[in-house]
Amino acid sequence: MKDEVLIDIKDVKKHFPLSKKWFAEKKYVKAVDGVSFSIKKGETFGLVGESGCGKSTTGRLINGLIKADSGEINFKGKNLANISEKDWKKYRKPMQMVFQDPYASLSPRMKVKDILLEPLKIHYPKMPNDEKKKLITELMDKCGISEFHLEKYPHEFSGGQRQRIGIARSLILRPELIIADEPVSALDVSIQSQILNLMKDLQEEFGLTYLFISHDLSVVEHISDRVGVMYLGNLVEIARKRQIFEDPKHPYTQALLSSIPQPDPKKKRETIVLTGEIPSAANPPSGCKFHTRCPAAMEICRKIVPELKQLGREQYTACHLY
Ligand SMILES: Nc1ncnc2c1ncn2[C@@H]1O[C@H](COP(=O)(O)OP(=O)(O)OP(=O)(O)O)[C@@H](O)[C@H]1O
Ligand SMILES: [Mg+2]
């Protein structure tokens, strides 16, 4: 089914306590502060925004690595936000993560073959060894790692190859959703596109759905169908990729885009320089959190939080200009 929604999150919040001292005034970092979006089966949803805006926290909430304070996390129509740790285990198999630094997530003392074997042993203890081996070699081959590399250790590979191994490991249990958190951010630009192309090929082959997290809009442009732009714990714009890149509505999206170098002078965008630092997520500005840096800020922006409004068929923005 083409329009089947795989993941649908509604008004999800995660506030981390800032001070553990009992006598201090309780302060919270509003890492995720009421986020809603959905991802259709087979789609790639790119989540972008500056450092600290809550992208990784959103990914970890969806994956169940951390629990939401409130809101719904619906996976295939079932709300996972309040289920027990034991029940979460069932849903971890169809949801897997790929991280920025595969070196940190691959055990240095394990051979590559054992890194891939481990999840199979846990989830399919009765599977015969030769079948396990076949699954591993076939998958590694699809990820561009040949069989003779299976006896090697992670440190014997380059960064790009290690990310191929990380991707293979995320796919060994045949998940439906991959949450990729900055999967190419640590790689050289030339290697980045190889990994992005590999991810696209694997998506087609296995019918995967991606939540693709990156601070880099040009990386997201490469791979996404739709894009969500985050600022200080909120989504400020959601739209199809083309709309985001050709006709962005939110001043923050416009500013992010204008900072991407544009080689074609005809496509050159007006440069919007954001003034001021990103405010702290522990003490965000009132009203629209972006008003302190927004070139189009009005009086209302200081006072009233803008709702995410639908502007076009698939374009939503949270801004008082509309
Ligand atoms: N476990 C935690 N305890 C306390 N604060 C946290 C925790 N995890 C994240 N934060 C804070 O929540 C906010 C959002 O962090 P998050 O890692 O989600 O941002 P991000 O968008 O992924 O940033 P980056 O681009 O740097 O990876 C930050 O202010 C961060 O310091
Ligand atoms: Mg992050």
What is the tens place of the pLDDT at every residue in 143-188? 999 998 999 999 999 999 999 999 999 999 999 999 999 999 999 9
Distance between CA atoms of 268 and 67, rounded to whole angstroms?
43
100 lines ligand 1 (CB under 6 A): no
Q: Whose CA is nearest to atom 6 of ligand 1?
A: 16
Pair of tokens at residue 107: 């055990």
Structural domain includes residue 101: no
E strand or H helix at 52? none
Task: Give strand pairing partners of 17.
Answer: 28
Structural domain includes residue 118: yes
Are residue 75 and residue 131 in the same domain, yes or no?
A: no
Are residue 137 and residue 192 in the same domain, yes or no?
A: no
What is the distance of C-alpha 57 from the center of its chain?
A: 9
pLDDT digits (tens, 9 = 90+) for 12-27: 999 998 876 666 677 8
Residue that is last in its domain, among 174, 189, 207: 174
57 lines ligand 1 (CB under 6 A): yes
168 lines ligand 1 (CB under 6 A): no
**Which candidate, 102, 91, 98, places its Cα nearest to that of 62?**
91
Distance between CA atoms of 207 and 201, rounded to whole angstroms?
10
Domain interval for residue 39: 5-94+175-317
Tell me, in angstroms, the distance from the centre of ligand 1 to residue 55's CA: 8
Structural domain includes residue 159: yes
pLDDT digits (tens, 9 = 90+) for 195-224: 999 999 999 999 999 999 999 999 999 999
Structural domain includes residue 99: no
Distance between CA atoms of 59 and 31, rounded to whole angstroms?
12
Tell me, in angstroms, the distance from the centre of ligand 2 to residue 148's CA: 34
Q: Which pLDDT score, from 0 to 100, does residue 101 have?
A: 81
- Choose the residue to mutate in 29, 100, 185 for probing ligand 1, maximizing ligand atoms within 8 Å of C-beta: 29
Are residue 76 and residue 159 in the same domain, yes or no?
A: no
Are residue 180 and residue 301 in the same domain, yes or no?
A: yes
56 lines ligand 1 (CB under 6 A): yes
Are residue 24 and residue 51 in the same domain, yes or no?
A: yes
Q: What is the pTM of this model?
A: 0.94
Are residue 195 and residue 294 in the same domain, yes or no?
A: yes
Domains identified in the chain, total number: 2
User: What is the share, in percent, of the chain residues with pLDDT greater than 70?
Assistant: 96
Structural domain includes residue 322: no
Q: Which pLDDT score, from 0 to 100, does residue 288 have?
A: 97
29 lines ligand 1 (CB under 6 A): yes
**Which candidate, 97, 114, 115, places its Cα nearest to that of 106?**
115
Secondary structure class of 94 (helix, strand, coil): coil
Residue count of the chain, please give it: 322
Q: Whose CA is nearest to atom 2 of ligand 1?
A: 16
- Going by the DSSP 8-state scheme, the letter that residue 155 receives in this structure is G
250 lines ligand 1 (CB under 6 A): no
Are residue 207 and residue 276 in the same domain, yes or no?
A: yes
Are residue 64 and residue 151 in the same domain, yes or no?
A: no
Residue that is last in its domain, among 174, 201, 220: 174
Tell me, in angstroms, the distance from the centre of ligand 2 to residue 50's CA: 9
- Choose the residue to mutate in 14, 16, 51 for probing ligand 1, maximizing ligand atoms within 8 Å of C-beta: 16
Are residue 291 and residue 150 in the same domain, yes or no?
A: no
Are residue 131 and residue 39 in the same domain, yes or no?
A: no
